[in-house]
Amino acid sequence: MNRIELTRIPFIKNALKSRYPQLAVFIVMLIGYIFAILAGLIGTPVGSHNFSIVFVWIAWWAILILVAVPFFGRGWCAVCPIPLPGEWLQRGAALSPPDKRPKWLNLRVPKMFRNIWLQNISFLLLALFSSVLLTTPNITGIVLAAMLFAAIGLSTVFERRAFCRYLCPVGGFIGLYSQTAPIELRIKDKQVCVTCEGKPCYNGSSAGYGCPWDVFPGGLTKNTYCGLCMECIRTCPHDNIAVNLRPFSADLAKPSTRMDEAFKAFIMLGSAIIYAGVLLGPWGAFKDAAYNVSSNSWFIYAIVFLAIIFVILPGLFMLGILNKKNTLPLKQRFASLSTALIPLGLMFWVAFSLSFVLTNASYILAALSDPLGLGWNLFGTAHAAWQPMFTSILAPAQTLALVGGLIWSARTAQKAAGEVKVSPIPVIIYCFIATSLMLWLLL
């Protein structure tokens, strides 16, 4: 497959190698993040006029799911401010290369947690409370602050970025979907890594820190766990790290065999379908149930939510791929074939997000001028009226995303099925039914 090495361009390479541009972005992002926490806590409780809701759940989400993840994979993780204070504390430095003394406890994360199950759980926890979280500024402020403090706490106990790698509710699906992105960080020559002494990209050196994401770049075959922090570009003594442009979904050619990742695909697919029905659908009772946390109807909603994700969707998928003649274990087939759900899920989220982002994007203008709802008018846009945007292209764009996602997942299913030597037809039918359901819910 053709790849274009972006790091051959001196400007890009220098910008990535130097710590200053990244630090500048970090500081801006951190200021924005802290401001979002404060806005949530002290600003107007009216979500549509509070910076925390408008900038996190409309602006950031739009950028993340419509641009960052599809085109830059873990590009968001590269600039995310959440792990920074913890990481700076852990390192005892904000900019300087390490002084070799380990800070704080520096423990290794126990093996049983070195997977994305915790991320699956943390995502589901937020997902179950999402109706309240997405509309209530002070809850958003508290959750944002909790993530910041959790990251700080984990950085002082465990080595590297334990929060990003194992707990971040967003990081899990960004990693999963980053496999589809046309950008990757890879080594240039495997032999160089094999013979490299000390593996400074993983262990750190005077030039920089060992991979904060606990990944050995020499073994990178997919984007899932590379946070694009660019530390290895700085530490590699052999200039053997490249950032490449590549075809979309290149990583999906080699299906995963991990159940935590397989279930992540179901969690994301199921959540998109449920949200499309509950948040955008015409059924008031569903909305009430999702919103009235701790009421009986919410418990039923939560049980149905979890049942769809953990029982119904994977169960139907499993039924589709049951084939006693196949010698490969069902578990392996299940994990591998669920790769097909990755592009499908991503496009479900794109289609779902398009509707509420285009509907609510005009709130961004007002919130920019009056971020706390205190009657300011910083940029003269405080009185911008709510106005859904591009409504005429919404349905065609959603249809295009969903049908495109179906075709994309069908092709992925063909490849994955080839790997485990089964027919892709049941998976394609499964994807077709899911897409039809999503089309019906959204259009």
Partner 1 sequence: MKRSELISRILIITGILLAVGAPLFLWARTPLIHARMAEDGGWNPDVIQAEVGKPLHLKITSDDVVHGFAVGQMDMRSVDILPGKVTEVTLNFDKPGIYAFFCTRWCGLNHWRMRGTIEVSGASTDPQPASVPLYVSLNLDLDAPHDAPVVPTGKPSATSGQLLEANLPIDQSADYYRSHSPYEVFESLQNTSLTEAQRWDTVAYFWQSNTTPESLANGKQLYAQNCAACHGENGAGDGVFADDLAEAGEASMQTMEGAMNMVMQVPVDFTDPRRMLGASPALLQGKILRGGMGTGMPMWGVIFTEKQIWDLIAYIYSFQFEYGN
What does the alpha-carbon distance between residue 386 and residue 223 come to, in Å, rounded to a whole number? 38
Is residue 380 a contact residue for partner 1 (CB under 8 A)?
Answer: no
**Which ranges in 43-72 belong to alpha helices (H)?**
51, 61-62, 69-72
Cα dist. 16→6, 84, 120, 188, 252 in Å? Answer: 11, 17, 31, 16, 26
The residue type found at 104 is: W
b/e per residue, 422-441, with b = 16+ CB within 10 A? bebebbbebbeebbeebbeb
Taking CB under 8 A as the binding criterion, the range among 72-80, 91-99, 122-130, 354-362 that sits at the site for partner 1 is 91-99
Is residue 294 a contact residue for partner 1 (CB under 8 A)?
Answer: no
The continuous run of DSSP H or E covering 186 comes out as: strand 183-187
Contact predicate 52/147, CB 8 Å: no
Taking CB under 8 A as the binding criterion, the range among 32-40, 126-134, 238-246, 305-313 that sits at the site for partner 1 is 32-40
Is residue 372 a contact residue for partner 1 (CB under 8 A)?
Answer: yes
Is residue 257 a contact residue for partner 1 (CB under 8 A)?
Answer: no
Sheet holding 183-187, edge to edge: 4-5, 241-245, 183-187
Total of residues contacting partner 1 (CB under 8 A): 30
| Nearer to partner 1 among residue 98 and residue 270 (C-beta) | 98
Is residue 373 a contact residue for partner 1 (CB under 8 A)?
Answer: yes
| Nearer to partner 1 among residue 18 and residue 221 (C-beta) | 18
Residues pairing with 187 in the sheet: 241
How far apart are CB 368 and partner 1 at their closest, in Å? 14
**Which ranges in 116-258 belong to alpha helices (H)?**
117-128, 130-133, 137-157, 162, 171-178, 190-195, 200-203, 231-235
| Nearer to partner 1 among residue 88 and residue 310 (C-beta) | 88
For Cα atoms 430, 431, 433, give the angle at the middle one, nearest 5 degrees.
65
What does the alpha-carbon distance between residue 132 and residue 58 come to, in Å, rounded to a whole number? 15
Is residue 44 a contact residue for partner 1 (CB under 8 A)?
Answer: yes
Is residue 31 a contact residue for partner 1 (CB under 8 A)?
Answer: yes
Is residue 145 a contact residue for partner 1 (CB under 8 A)?
Answer: no
User: Which residue from 9, 67, 316, 374 is in contact with partner 1, where contact means CB under 8 A?
Assistant: 374
x/- map, 4-23, partner 1, by CB under 8 A = -------------------x
How far apart are CB 10 and partner 1 at their closest, in Å? 22
- For residue 156, give the nearest of 102, 119, 192 by alpha carbon: 102
Site for partner 1 in 341-370 (CB under 8 A): 370
How far apart are CB 100 and partner 1 at their closest, in Å? 15
User: Which residue from 376, 379, 390, 440 is in contact with partner 1, where contact means CB under 8 A?
Assistant: 376
What does the alpha-carbon distance between residue 146 and residue 169 come to, in Å, rounded to a whole number? 12
x/- map, 297-336, partner 1, by CB under 8 A = ----------------------------------------
Question: In the numeric block, which tokens belong to residue 338?
Answer: 């669920």
Is residue 379 a contact residue for partner 1 (CB under 8 A)?
Answer: no
| Nearer to partner 1 among residue 49 and residue 264 (C-beta) | 49
| Nearer to partner 1 among residue 50 and residue 244 (C-beta) | 50
What does the alpha-carbon distance between residue 10 and residue 132 come to, in Å, rounded to a whole number? 47
Is residue 79 a contact residue for partner 1 (CB under 8 A)?
Answer: no
Is residue 50 a contact residue for partner 1 (CB under 8 A)?
Answer: yes
Enter the DSSP assignment of 249.
T
User: Which residue from 2, 96, 195, 392 is in contact with partner 1, where contact means CB under 8 A?
Assistant: 96
Enter the DSSP assignment of 64.
I
Contact predicate 258/109, CB 8 Å: no
User: Which residue from 15, 42, 253, 384 is in contact with partner 1, where contact means CB under 8 A?
Assistant: 42
What does the alpha-carbon distance between residue 193 and residue 287 come to, in Å, rounded to a whole number? 53
Binding site for partner 1 (CB under 8 A): 23, 27-28, 30-32, 34-35, 38-39, 42-46, 48-50, 88, 93-96, 370-376
